[in-house]
Amino acid sequence: MRLPVASLLLVLLSACLATAAKKTSPSRTRPRAITKRQNSLFISASGGDFHHNGSRFDFVGTNAYWLASLNNDKDINDTIQSIKAAGIKVIRTWAFNGSSPVPYSPLEILTRRQDVDEIPVNGTWLQLIKNGTFTVNEGPNGLQRLDKVVELAEQAGMFLILSLTNNWNPLPGIDNTTATQALERRDVTVGSNNTLPRNFLSNDYGGMDVYVRQLTESKTHDEFFQNQAIINAFKNYTTQVVSRYINSPAIFGWELANDARCNSTLPSAPTCVTTIVTSWHADLSSHVASVDPNHLVASGTHGFACMSCPKLFPLNPPPKPQPSPAPGKKVRRVVPLTKERLLRERTDLMKRNRAARIRSEGSSAGGIKIRGRWLASHTARQSDSSPGSALDGAHGVDSQDILNIPTIGFGTFQLFPDQNVYGPDDPSLPPFNNTLQQGIQWIQTQSQLAQAVGKPLALTAFGLVTQQNAPAFVPFNTTTAPFASEAASSTPPPGNGTAVGGISSAFGVSPAEQDSAYSQWLSTSLQNAVGGAMQYQWTQEGLTPAPGTTISTPTNDNTLGTAPNTNTLGESPNDGYGISSTGADGIQGILSNAAASIGRV
Ligand SMILES: *[C@@H]1O[C@H](CO)[C@@H](O)[C@H](O)[C@H]1NC(C)=O
Ligand SMILES: *[C@@H]1O[C@H](CO)[C@@H](O)[C@H](O)[C@H]1NC(C)=O
Ligand SMILES: *[C@@H]1O[C@H](CO)[C@@H](O)[C@H](O)[C@H]1NC(C)=O
Ligand SMILES: *[C@@H]1O[C@H](CO)[C@@H](O)[C@H](O)[C@H]1NC(C)=O
Ligand SMILES: *[C@@H]1O[C@H](CO)[C@@H](O)[C@H](O)[C@H]1NC(C)=O
Ligand SMILES: *[C@@H]1O[C@H](CO)[C@@H](O)[C@H](O)[C@H]1NC(C)=O
Ligand SMILES: *[C@@H]1O[C@H](CO)[C@@H](O)[C@H](O)[C@H]1NC(C)=O
Ligand SMILES: *[C@@H]1O[C@H](CO)[C@@H](O)[C@H](O)[C@H]1NC(C)=O
Ligand SMILES: *[C@@H]1O[C@H](CO)[C@@H](O)[C@H](O)[C@H]1NC(C)=O
Ligand SMILES: *[C@@H]1O[C@H](CO)[C@@H](O)[C@H](O)[C@H]1NC(C)=O
Ligand SMILES: *[C@@H]1O[C@H](CO)[C@@H](O)[C@H](O)[C@H]1NC(C)=O
Ligand SMILES: *[C@@H]1O[C@H](CO)[C@@H](O)[C@H](O)[C@H]1NC(C)=O
């Protein structure tokens, strides 16, 4: 890859800064004698692809945000080893924990006093944010747990994408100005209502809103991207985490934040626009790259983009044509994605679907069991002249502008059709086929957006909720499972839709539909210019439970709402996307087959 002079200088400067950072970093940083030759063992990006050890590196991955919160080293090792055994090369996990709350009194909520967070009795915590001060836990129940994850990944020859904060940390009672009940907040007290174990949910690890609640008066989410005190504190945290692993070959790359957006549970100020979020990414990616010049930095955004917003990093000059691929290699046609082209392709696809439907009218077409889709049914049809909320800047994120930041090394996007709208529904298709097709189009669109920038791209998380998993499903902006009680009262449909313990729900797809979607999304990713696709999320059995930790005993607090307890002792968290016991072989097999199809180990 040819680097402009400016980037080269930046790299050199970064190297100096990194040396400085290393000197001041704690002794627990495990310095390694890394020779120049070994540097190819770090993942790099060139020609729109990931590279490792001298060759192109495409991968299938999975998510296990809870890895650092497991109760012992063996559990971490077993999880990494079983993921490896499935042929998976990359694991995405949380490298943050802004701390979670202790019970608040209703009075504290009413008077909106400053949040008080407290160190938990048991379990892992990485950073305590309390009363305007920040304490990073470098002890055995702190960053040393993350050290262990990295060390065991190194030993297994596995890679980690480490995410540095989360957009989501819902605390309904705290963030709701009219709330009067302490009950409404996240309550992890054993025996109380909503007693999901601490850190059971991916959004229970702190995140941007912890900083906002602690440090601002306005309590608007976008302060995270703009308030200098918050930015300094977050840089401080990232320095301390990132500097520990500068020399580790197990770090695939850093992800600045999971799913950054203008809004979270806390709303944004009306002034929050894409350029604000892009500026933050430019600042933070440059910071992380200066601390760690060895590893790639990514945004971690959902892929939301804006086809007609002002750009801070415009695509200029247009990308050079790709060299023609060797026989048998992927053909890369870089045609810039415009709004007009996107809308034309959508219209053409809808025409084809309609024609196909007319041809099969009267046959058994449409015999697919139609299952209610929550939220996505809000889509309705978008106006023909709009690319829709995923691509018009409605979320305050322009992932393509972010990807073109010089210190951003690769693109990221996610795919969760149960919770996000990616495009208009096609009236000629049954609901499941709409989900399937919109996922395929989302992947293709993301691939086009990234190719125009000329950087590699990873689908860092994708998932679809099944009927079996629906009772456990907790959307990312909530703390409770909306379909938990429905499952408890519903009679399982005949044939399929029956899970272990007889739990099922009218919400969600069948296991066969999930298999079909995952297979097609994986193959679409790998056939397009997507370097890696990561299923959300891994399930690990046989973990060691301990009270007051992520892996608790089922009789205490593994119950979701009023649903019957379905967790076996020592099973990793399931937020609706876990690979349920019944479907484990299916999804694992699909991931393994996709990994094998890449033709590299
Ligand atoms: C890197 O490639 C060399 C030569 O192909 C090989 O011997 C070595 O095992 C590889 N190392 C890793 C970590 O993949
Ligand atoms: C991790 O598990 C693998 C496979 O069982 C084993 O070979 C290795 O020794 C384990 N490592 C540690 C540190 O326990
Ligand atoms: C996060 O911090 C909270 C409280 O500080 C703690 O309860 C929890 O165990 C921590 N989780 C992780 C994974 O560090
Ligand atoms: C919070 O900080 C203020 C000053 O910054 C200090 O006066 C107060 O005692 C602190 N409160 C606690 C509970 O630490
Ligand atoms: C806020 O709290 C009030 C009072 O408890 C409740 O009625 C309302 O539904 C809550 N709103 C949200 C968005 O949680
Ligand atoms: C749980 O919720 C029910 C109904 O909302 C309430 O009556 C009960 O007191 C709650 N229990 C606890 C331990 O908070
Ligand atoms: C940065 O981290 C160090 C070490 O935990 C701490 O002493 C310092 O107060 C932090 N600074 C800020 C601005 O948070
Ligand atoms: C998240 O949920 C809260 C209610 O708890 C709501 O006020 C907010 O608008 C939601 N945010 C997004 C981005 O959906
Ligand atoms: C953020 O949420 C508010 C409502 O709280 C909504 O009016 C606004 O459109 C949202 N903005 C973005 C960028 O999502
Ligand atoms: C819907 O998707 C399923 C599974 O891929 C497929 O078998 C079926 O033919 C599709 N139906 C339509 C109408 O496209
Ligand atoms: C239902 O699906 C499961 C796999 O999830 C399969 O083992 C079982 O045979 C199916 N049952 C029927 C009646 O189709
Ligand atoms: C912490 O762990 C101890 C030992 O397992 C247990 O007795 C205690 O109940 C736990 N505390 C909490 C708050 O979970």
pLDDT of residue 418: 95
Instruction: Supply the DSSP string of 51-79, one letter for each residue.
Output: EETTEE--EEEEE-TTGGGSSSHHHHHHH
Cα–Cα dist 174/157, whole Å: 43
Confidence of residue 584 (pLDDT cuts 50, 70, 90): low
pLDDT of residue 3: 36
Mutation probe of ligand 10 site: the residue of 433, 510, 515 with most atoms within 8 A of C-beta: 433
Q: Of the segments 23-32, 188-197, 203-212, 369-378, which one has the largest average pLDDT value?
A: 203-212
Mutation probe of ligand 9 site: the residue of 212, 263, 309, 391 with most atoms within 8 A of C-beta: 263
- Domain 50-319+333-355+384-598 CATH assignment equals 3.20.20.80: yes
Structure confidence by residue, pLDDT tens digits, 587-601:
999 999 999 999 643
Give residue 193 CA to ligand 6 midpoint distance, Å.
6
Confidence of residue 545 (pLDDT cuts 50, 70, 90): confident
- pLDDT score of 239 more than 80: yes
**Cβ–Cβ under 8 Å, residues 71 and 545:** yes
Give the rounded distance of the alpha carbon of 53 from its chain centre. Answer: 26
Residue nearest to atom 7 of ligand 3 (CA): 120
Confidence of residue 131 (pLDDT cuts 50, 70, 90): low
Residue nearest to atom 13 of ligand 5 (CA): 176
pLDDT of residue 39: 72
Bond into 448 cis (ω within 30): no
Structure confidence by residue, pLDDT tens digits, 71-82:
999 999 999 999
Structure confidence by residue, pLDDT tens digits, 467-492:
888 888 889 998 878 887 654 444 44
* Of residues 522, 337, 273, the one with CA closest to residue 415: 522
Cα–Cα dist 1/51, whole Å: 11
pLDDT of residue 35: 41
Ligand 10, pocket residues at CB < 6 Å: 365, 368, 429-430, 433, 436, 516
- pLDDT score of 97 more than 80: yes
Lowest mean pLDDT among 391-395, 534-538, 555-559, 588-592: 555-559
Structure confidence by residue, pLDDT tens digits, 51-70:
999 999 999 999 999 999 99
**Cβ–Cβ under 8 Å, residues 517 and 435:** yes
The mean pLDDT of 194-208, rounded to a whole number, is: 83
The mean pLDDT of 160-178, rounded to a whole number, is: 85
Mutation probe of ligand 7 site: the residue of 236, 240, 241 with most atoms within 8 A of C-beta: 236
The residue extents of the domains of the chain are: 50-319+333-355+384-598
Bridging pattern class, strands 296-298 and 411-415 = unpaired
Whole-model pTM: value is 0.84
Share of the chain above pLDDT 70, in %: 71
